[in-house]
């Protein structure tokens, strides 16, 4: 509960374990996935209030149809092949300011996948998604669900840091997102969580107010897609964590996870 009630500050990282601390034992009801329950944990969260600015699309293309199911042992190899295809990418203007391509990370056979907007300064420096303060909050959210970060797969709409952390332009998102779609097809998560309006826009293929997308289950490439707030937004407006937690509970229900308490 604590995670969702107090303001998030610079001490959040250090206090992470306390925030998601012992309460109950989430139970993974559905078998066959790679996500394992984490011992002890409870928490909640919620997101949003404002919507990041997304410019009206020059052609917000719909996602291509889902790929055929892939045996679990081939998923890691499929992800490696996608990374090789990306190479030292210069397909969009974002390559000019990047330090590192942030491909994505996590369990190649994850049942739960998170998609954010794009790398920030910390991610650009380390080559990993969600490693700054927003990443720590995402880790707390995952822990609140009774899971571990390494159980999940985490990626972004664009793989190079936009200058000044601006929202990716539609042409940049449309150029890069096909690689993300291939990653989704390789991992084949049961549940996708879109973190913020940019992720929701480019996953669902249309610009819509976040408020109208939250609170329900969308179908996307064979997965159940849940839309919630971006952790960076929650850092700015912790009051929205309760709403985010409600969204994550929908994801937990889709995964067969039982919440330990309200």
Could you list the beta-strand ranges (E) of the chain. 105-106, 112-116, 153-156, 191-195, 218-220, 223-228
Which of these segments, 41-49, 70-78, 82-90, 106-114, binds ligand SF4 (CB under 6 A)? 82-90
Nearer to ligand SF4, 72 or 125 (CB): 125
Which of these segments, 94-102, 146-154, 205-213, 233-241, binds ligand SF4 (CB under 6 A)? 94-102
Q: For residues 42 and 146, what is the distance between their CA atoms, to the nearest angstrom?
A: 7
- Count other Cβ atoms within 10 Å, centred on residue 175: 17
Closest contact distance (angstroms) between CB of 177 and ligand SF4 is: 8
Which of these segments, 22-30, 157-165, 187-195, 245-253, binds ligand SF4 (CB under 6 A)? 157-165
Structure tokens, 60: 């917000």
Quick check: 158 binds ligand SF4 (CB under 6 A)?
Answer: yes
Q: Residue 253: phi, psi to the nearest 5?
A: -65, -40
Rule CB under 6 A: choose which of 60, 72, 76, 89 binds ligand SF4: 89
Quick check: 159 binds ligand SF4 (CB under 6 A)?
Answer: yes
Closest contact distance (angstroms) between CB of 100 and ligand SF4 is: 10
Q: How many residues bind ligand SF4 (CB under 6 A)?
A: 14
Which of these segments, 76-84, 85-93, 129-137, 232-240, binds ligand SF4 (CB under 6 A)? 85-93
Quick check: 61 binds ligand SF4 (CB under 6 A)?
Answer: no
Closest contact distance (angstroms) between CB of 41 and ligand SF4 is: 34
Closest contact distance (angstroms) between CB of 51 and ligand SF4 is: 22
Alpha-carbon distance values, 100 to 18, 104, 198 (Å): 33, 12, 21
- Asked if residues 160 and 171 have their Cβ atoms less than 8 Å apart, the reply is no
CA gyration radius for the chain? 17
Closest contact distance (angstroms) between CB of 135 and ligand SF4 is: 19
> In the chain, what is the straight-line distance between the N-terminal and C-terminal CA atoms, in Å?
8
Q: For residues 156 and 145, what is the distance between their CA atoms, to the nearest angstrom?
A: 21
Q: Which residues contact 242 (CB under 8 A, 6 or more apart)?
A: 4, 44, 45, 46
Rule CB under 6 A: choose which of 112, 176, 192, 248 binds ligand SF4: 176
Residue ranges that bind ligand SF4, judged by CB under 6 A: 86, 89-92, 94-95, 101, 158-160, 172, 175-176
């Amino acid at each position: 509960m604590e995670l969702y009630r107090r303001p998030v500050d610079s001490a959040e990282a250090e206090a992470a374990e306390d925030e998601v601390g012992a309460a109950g034992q989430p139970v993974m009801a559905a078998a066959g996935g790679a996500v394992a329950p984490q011992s002890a944990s409870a928490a909640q969260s919620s997101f949003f209030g404002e919507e990041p600015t997304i410019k009206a699309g020059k052609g917000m293309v719909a996602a291509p149809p889902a790929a055929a199911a892939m045996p679990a042992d081939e998923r890691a190899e499929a992800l490696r092949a996608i990374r090789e295809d990306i190479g030292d990418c210069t397909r969009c203007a974002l390559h000019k300011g990047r330090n590192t391509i942030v491909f994505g990370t996590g369990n190649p056979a994850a049942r739960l996948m998170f998609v954010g907007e794009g790398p920030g300064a910390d991610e650009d420096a380390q080559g990993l998604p969600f490693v700054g303060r927003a990443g720590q909050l995402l880790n707390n959210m995952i822990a609140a669900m009774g899971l571990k970060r390494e159980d999940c797969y985490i990626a972004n709409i664009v793989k190079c840091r936009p200058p000044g952390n601006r929202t990716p332009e539609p042409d940049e998102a449309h150029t890069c997102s096909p690689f993300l779609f291939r990653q989704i097809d390789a991992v084949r998560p049961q549940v996708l969580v879109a973190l913020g309006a940019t992720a929701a826009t480019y996953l669902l293929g249309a610009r819509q107010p976040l408020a109208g997308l939250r609170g329900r289950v969308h179908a996307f490439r064979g997965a159940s897609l849940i839309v919630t707030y971006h952790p960076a937004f929650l850092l700015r407006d912790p009051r929205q964590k309760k709403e985010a937690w409600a969204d994550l509970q929908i994801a937990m229900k889709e995964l067969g996870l039982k919440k330990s308490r309200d």
